[in-house]
Amino acid sequence: MWVTRPPDRASRLRVAALALLLVAPHAPVLAACTAQVSLLDQGQALRTGKQPYDEFFEATRALRDESLRAEELSSAAPAELSRALGLDPRSDGKAALEAARARAAELRAAGVLLQVELVPEARIVSARGGRSLDAEDRNTIAAFEASLKSSLATSKQLGELSSRAAELEKKRASLSAAWAEALADDPQRREVKHELEAAERVIAEAGAAADRHAGRASKLALDLVLAVDSGDAPARRGAASRPPTRRPAPSVKSPPRRGSSTGAAPKPPKPPTSHGEDDFDP
């Protein structure tokens, strides 16, 4: 008959150590699963019935939603430019810029000069010194201009989003400093504290995304200007055919001859200087 001996202390310690080794690598995952996910991370805003907090959480939720579309906004202009130049819209923006640079060089070689104007609004002005523009040329120039306008508009929109993030962070700091006193007897005070802590991260991520993609849109606009602008202001239509207006040369008068009546009159002699004597005899 077999007799089972109870495990000694050393055996129990070895089992416990083995269990810790098996569980330790998964501890962060288990902790994350048990952590409470904020409403803001789920695209929702906490309702407290208190106007300052409700307005803040709603504004932060809207900021997060818009920042999630920042990459899509900044990708629209290069995608449209690629499509207009016969490239895959999903291709790298550098490929679209290289194609735009090559197409502008072809137009320049044919005598078509392009100049980018940014005020009062972005547009591309063309001047023909060689062949006339065909439908493909006009479509290409229109695509350049549309991409430039779209990039500038996106950069402005995302720049404003970044400014909103900075303002919301100031408001969050103010509400965080006053929440304990303002919500002392509120049953949602712990939820408010949790959402305010989550809002700090949400706002920081939204502002960073807005800055990153606003910079991307601005860079595309600048690179496009450098790619297509000829550097010379196109002359207005008909200006090249008109000869420059000549101003009449100023007339040069010949110096008067000696003794001529047209010369300057001689100066009268100076009166004699008096030495204390009377000017008239008695």
| Model confidence pLDDT, tens digit, residues 260-276 | 444 455 555 555 554 44
How far apart are alpha carbons 106 and 99 in whole angstroms? 11
Kindly tell me if the per-residue pLDDT of 21 is higher than 90: no
Q: DSSP secondary-structure letter at 123?
A: E
Quote the pTM value: 0.67
Confidence of residue 1 (pLDDT cuts 50, 70, 90): very low
Kindly tell me if the per-residue pLDDT of 248 is higher than 60: no
pLDDT at 272: 52
**Residue with tokens 């408001």, as numbered in its chain:** 171
Which backbone phi and psi does 125 adopt, to 5 degrees? -100, 135
153-169 pLDDT, tens digit per residue, is: 999 999 999 999 999 99
| Rounded average pLDDT over 55-66 | 97
Kindly tell me if the per-residue pLDDT of 30 is higher than 60: no
Residue with more model confidence, 58 or 129: 58
Are 223 and 67 spatial neighbours (Cβ–Cβ below 8 Å)?
no
Confidence of residue 233 (pLDDT cuts 50, 70, 90): very low
Q: Hey, is 247 helix, strand or coil?
A: coil
Kindly tell me if the per-residue pLDDT of 22 is higher than 80: no
How far apart are alpha carbons 247 and 86 in whole angstroms? 52
Average model confidence (pLDDT) across the chain = 79
Which backbone phi and psi does 127 adopt, to 5 degrees? -135, 135
pLDDT at 240: 40
Residue type, 159: G
pLDDT at 119: 86
